[in-house]
Structure 1
Amino acid sequence: MYTVYVGNKPIILTTKVEKETDFKSFLLKSVNIGKVIKTLNTTDLKAVHLIHDNPDKLLKHFLKLLPNVIAGGGKVYNAKNEILFIYRNSKWDLPKGKVEQRESIEETAIREVEEETGVKGLKITKPLSTTYHIFKRNGKHKIKITYWFEMKTKFDGKLYPQEKEGITQVKWLDSQASQKALENSYANIKILV
């Protein structure tokens, strides 16, 4: 099973057929993804289930429905065990961004965290979950696939929000402040934190 977010509503890729309650089901092989996105955005349905009989083909078939954007990002801890957050588009988020040519996904994640926050001395400690969400750019829907990594740093210098990317704040948040920030964040970030 996979979850792909459209805003804060999930598209659940599954092999199980369940009785529809507050969600609607479609067959993945014949689905009109534009109609699914519109349905999620304009109704009070809580979710959409896309069903395929082969669990190994769920994600592969889904990713063929729209252009893919590959990104890398970090859940970064400092020496005080605080998490690095950015504030962009009136929401708290974790730093991430698109892969550039000939860059590994790990290199992307580190570069993006550095560019968006000014934090240096990053070390990847382990991979985290991969998240999927659908966004609209220039009138076209795309699927962003973000590979996340837990990172650690001893950096305690000044934080610099990358304003040209729309980032207005960068903050280290302790566990209590992180939970508060997650109240105004994205569903896939809540899963990571």
Structure 2
Amino acid sequence: MSKECSIYFDKRKIVLTNSVGSNFNNQSGLFTCYNTFQELSKILDFFQSTVQVENVFISGKDIQSMLRDLGTMFKVVKASGGLVQNSNGEYLFIFRYGKWDLPKGKLELDEKIEDAAVREVSEETGISNLILKEHITNTYHTYKQGGSIILKETHWFNMFYNDNEPLVPQQTEDISIAKWFSVNHLDGILNNTYDTIREVLGVEGIV
């Protein structure tokens, strides 16, 4: 079975895959194979130094091994978040920095990934009594901080909420809106969100 993992660099991405077959027929970019750590480092340097290559697809037998090797080339920050569904079948989104997002945040010292997910959703939206369910997926994206490029690894969980507390967006984290949306009204979200969020929704079969 074909598997892949995408690392987003703004609107570009590196895709680690165990197959470069028909799944990528409509994709444009550089296609290469994983052989050595040194070659992977050179590929990353090339990708970061040119904007002409939109995407890089790296094929190898072990995606997790490739991801670990790639992670050593960045400062890795771990985060956790939730896709929350209420009893009406609606999903909870936040609006921050001009885009729709899912509530998430960095892990605190010695904090468990699951605990961080629940805490962040509660802090960013003002609701409590969240029921933690299954792990969905992990997403990966990069951003600049000072003179470094950070690789953010976000662990996503399904959550259920069966209460009616008012939503309170965490303004100290630049969140201006927290709102429930039905599946039939996600077009505005999808047209103004991040690729990582689309990936989470896609894994869940929502889009």
- The TM-score normalised by the length of structure 1 is 0.88
User: Is the counterpart of residue 13 in structure 1 residue 41 in structure 2?
Assistant: no
User: Is the counterpart of residue 36 in structure 1 residue 47 in structure 2?
Assistant: yes
3-state secondary structure, aligned to 1:161 = coil
One-letter amino acid of the counterpart of residue 6, structure 1 = F
What is the correspondence of 1:1-193 to structure 2 with a 5 Å cutoff? 1-16=4-19, 22-25=28-31, 29=37, 30=39, 31-32=41-42, 33-39=44-50, 42-43=51-52, 45-52=53-60, 54-193=62-201
Q: Partner of 2:204 in structure 1?
A: none
* Partners of 1:14 and 1:58 within 8 A in 2: no
- How many residues get paired? 190
Q: CA deviation at 1:73?
A: 0.2
* Partners of 1:83 and 1:178 within 8 A in 2: no
One-letter amino acid of the counterpart of residue 28, structure 2 = D
Q: How far, CA to CA, are the matches of 1:166 and 1:140 in structure 2?
A: 23
Q: How far, CA to CA, are the matches of 1:95 and 1:120 in structure 2?
A: 13
One-letter amino acid of the counterpart of residue 14, structure 1 = T
Unaligned runs of at least 5 residues, structure 2:
202-207
Unaligned runs of at least 5 residues, structure 1:
none
Q: What value does the CA root-mean-square deviation take over the aligned residues?
A: 2.2
Q: How far, CA to CA, are the matches of 1:22 and 1:85 in structure 2?
A: 31
